[in-house]
Amino acid sequence: MANMAQAIRLALHYAEKNLELKDVFGQDVGAPMGGVFTATQGLETSWNTPLDERGIVGTAMGIALTGDRCVAEIQFCDYIFNTIDLLKIAGNTYWASYGNFSLPLVLMTPVGAGIRGSVYHSHSFDAWASRLAGWKVVMPSTPKDAYGLLLAAIKDPNPVMFLKPKALMRVRGEELIPGEPDNEKTLKSMIDAPVGDRTGWKANWPQVEDFTCEIGKGKVTRSGTDLTVVTYGRHVLMCNEVADQLKQENGTSVEVIDLMSIYPYDWELIKTSVQKTGRVVFVNEDTEVTNFAEHLSYRVTQELFYELMARPKVVAGKNLPGIGLHAELEEASVPQVADIRKEVIEVLKEIP
């Protein structure tokens, strides 16, 4: 099975061959490195840029104005903040020009903690991104979903932010990407650049096929009837673990929803699940004040109030200025399996 970095690479290869993707660019995105997570190795259209985030975003916007498709990368979302006004403009260009100019671009950036990345390689951006009206924002939790969401993002005529959960970049999936070799060693030998001298190396791409995950649609990763957990990114794996633990321990039935799209989001999936369970916990690792989950929690409260059996809860990163490097500090700053489990049990115990 491909890991997420390989899945992203395969999607970009498919797009440059089949979807007229013209440029994949960013800091260290081109040869020889092919991205700090190797997600852009071996591509024909990838190139290195100056270390200039504003230039990267501005260039993507300009390319998109011409109608050409591009995927730009900000190396870590921790460094995206000096582009925030350009991101606002990218989001409002179609609207402010009254439909005269669309911006079909994809901006991808690694997000979140989980790799001991310290203060400036651990930020999250989902809550910030959810405030950039006009963008679509997606975050996969599996390699196959990364492939499908990225192809959907490249096909989409709007600006799409593709948030890469950096802690999952080396995690392998349980499902093959259509056309992917079923032996991971074979895949590695075909598309992973050798360590050391890469002069003359070329990827031997497998015949991957078209596959998209519809933007705006989530999925249920654990079915359940007692409580709903709504999450995305690496916390899908943690929430699945909590659901599995509780089911095994006492038969508690927790439903886990992988939202996959942060905006637009799959309200029908959330609504149907919460109407069934009456209890809901929202989990992500962005900071807790004005967290995107607060909007979802608000909506649940407004629209499903009389169907709730417990107060909705948001489990998110603490409202700290950064994530400390030491494991004790990092784990105390963003939700861990034990934190999620504790909050889920509390909501399950609440008596209306």
Q: Which residues bind other proteins (CB under 8 A)?
A: 22-23, 49-50, 52, 54-55, 57-66, 68, 82, 85-86, 89, 93-102, 133-134, 136, 157-158, 216, 263-268, 295, 299
Of 82 and 223, which CB lies nearer to other proteins in the complex structure? 82
Per DSSP, the chain holds a count of helices (H) and strands (E) of: 11, 12
Residues 6+ apart with CB under 8 A from 135: 87, 90, 91, 129, 158, 159, 160, 161, 263
* Nearest distance from C-beta of residue 14 to other proteins, angstroms: 20
CA angle 45, 48, 54 (to 5 degrees): 110
> Which residue, 52 or 209, is less far from other proteins as judged by CB?
52
> What 3-state class would DSSP assign to 121?
coil
3-state class (DSSP) for residue 10: helix
**Beta strand pairing call for 136-138 and 261-263:** antiparallel
Active-site residue, from 13, 121, 123, 235: 121
Distance, in Å, from the CA atom of 171 to the CA atom of 37, rounded to the nearest integer, reads 12
Q: Of 68 and 339, which CB lies nearer to other proteins in the complex structure?
A: 68
Instruction: Show the CA angle centred on residue 46, arms to residues 43 and 51, nearest 5°.
Output: 145
Tell me the closest approach of the beta carbon of residue 146 to other proteins, in angstroms. 22
Annotation says 121 is catalytic: yes
**CA atoms within 13 A of residue 179's CA, in its CB half-sphere:** 14
For the CB of residue 86, give the shortest distance to other proteins in the complex, in Å: 6
Q: What three-state secondary structure class fits 347?
A: helix
Question: Among residues 201 and 267, whose Cβ is nearest to other proteins?
Answer: 267
Nearer to other proteins, 64 or 108 (CB): 64
Provide, rounded to whole angstroms, the least separation between the CB of residue 275 and other proteins. Answer: 16
Q: How far is the CB of 270 from other proteins (least distance, A)?
A: 9
d(CA 9, CA 138) in angstroms, rounded, equals 17
- The token duo for 18 is 């089949």
What residues are annotated to the active site?
Answer: 121
